Amino acid sequence: MAVSKQHEYYEKRLEELLIEMPYFVEKYVDDKLDIRSPLTLFNYVRDFKEFFEWLMAEQIVECDSIKSFPPESLETLSLNDANNYFKHLSRKKYKVSQKDGETKQIDVKTVNRKKSSLRSLFKYLTVEAEIATGKPYFERNVMAKIPIKKVSETFNERSKKITEKIFVDDMDIHFLEFVQNDYEYLLSPAQKRYFRRDKERDFAILSLFLGSGVRVNELSNLRLKDVDFTNKEISVIRKGGKKDTVSVTPSSLDVLASYLDVRKNIYKAGDGDNEYVFVKVYNGKTAPLTNRAIENIVYKYTKAFDKRMSPHKLRHTYATNLAEQTGGDIPLIMNQLGHTNSDISLLYINTTRKKQRMAAEKMDQRRSRKSR
């Protein structure tokens, strides 16, 4: 299985986090590592830590540290205390803006994810794991009584939310033209110097997102050997470490070729097959761009053009355009985007409300003709 930079990064962070965790969480991670990604397990363990800290702060469980947290205390945890924890989560507020102090409550989906992670731990301790006696850690599973609150939304409503956050119609084309021709004029002399240095690289990143629909992790892990100009394809590492091949628009590959022509000179980068495509110079050394660095590049240019967007929104933009250009070819959309569930691909079939309004107007025109 291919190992990505993200995989290695979260493996390390998971190891660091486990140092302060109780022994039964370490055992849980060790048993799950072959079936769950390090990123998923890292998020799960963070959820466990937050839960243990709350139990200790509320004096529901008394112990000196998380490291010495006793599993028996989870067996006797009351349903009322468990429910109170999730009420506490759902009512928590976080700052959206440091400037005006605007706050927002945690999303229901986030609370559901935290419920799922704790349900996984409790199931492991009560059903899947086995201690020296041949029995599980304990038998009573209070988390099995905690419901997951369904977020009821139609495909149309979910599609509407996507549409509000992406480039629609030909805005993606106008965006690339803006970066290529107009963005520089918004900058100070000092900013222009860095922009001109990185222009080919940054433009290639933006164009590749909009010309292939890859995820940010797939793009950051791209190596020179993964680019096939002849067949107009790139090889990527999908979720779960699976290798896949993605078609790329010819114009995006032309932009990528222009970047590769200057990459070695500007960034002192090697040209071996295993060298990363997108790089920077840090402390005098060439290093691959991180996911965060790529996200910041996308944020910077999209905010200057219209609205701050993430790489995932550029992926949504590509998917919407692909759906329109192919007449909603679901198998093709699934293959191109690496979806395993057709429901996700269906979201892009009906993302433009403009078409709905046009259809409604045509229906009205039909009614008007009939009434004459």
DSSP 313-362: HHHHHHHHHHHHHTTS-HHHHHHHHT-S-HHHHHTTTT--HHHHHHHHHH
- pTM over cut 0.85: no
C-alpha dihedral sign at 8, 13, 18, 24: negative
Looking at residue 1, what is its pLDDT?
A: 47
pLDDT band at 241 (very low <50, low <70, confident <90, very high): confident
Contacts of 130 (CB under 8 A, 6+ apart): 136
* CATH 1.10.443.10 location in the chain: 157-356
Catalogue the active-site residues: 215, 239, 312, 315, 339, 348
Q: Could you report the per-residue pLDDT of 38-95, keeping only the tens digit for each?
A: 888 999 999 999 999 999 999 999 999 999 999 999 999 999 999 999 999 988 876 6
Which is nearest to 157 in space by CA: 350, 360, 363, 323? Answer: 350
Contact assessment for residue 173 and residue 206, using Cβ atoms and an 8 Å cutoff: no
Any idea which residue has 């965006």 for tokens? Answer: 175
Q: Enter the tokens of residue 285.
A: 């050394």
Q: Enter the tokens of residue 205.
A: 């990143």
CATH code for the structural domain at 157-356: 1.10.443.10
Any idea which residue has 């370490």 for tokens? Answer: 26
Q: How far apart are CA 269 and CA 262, in angstroms?
A: 10
Q: How far apart are CA 195 and CA 348, in angstroms?
A: 33
Lowest model confidence (mean pLDDT) among 61-70, 149-158, 292-301: 149-158
Q: How far apart are CA 338 and CA 347, in angstroms?
A: 14
C-alpha dihedral sign at 178, 179, 180, 186: positive
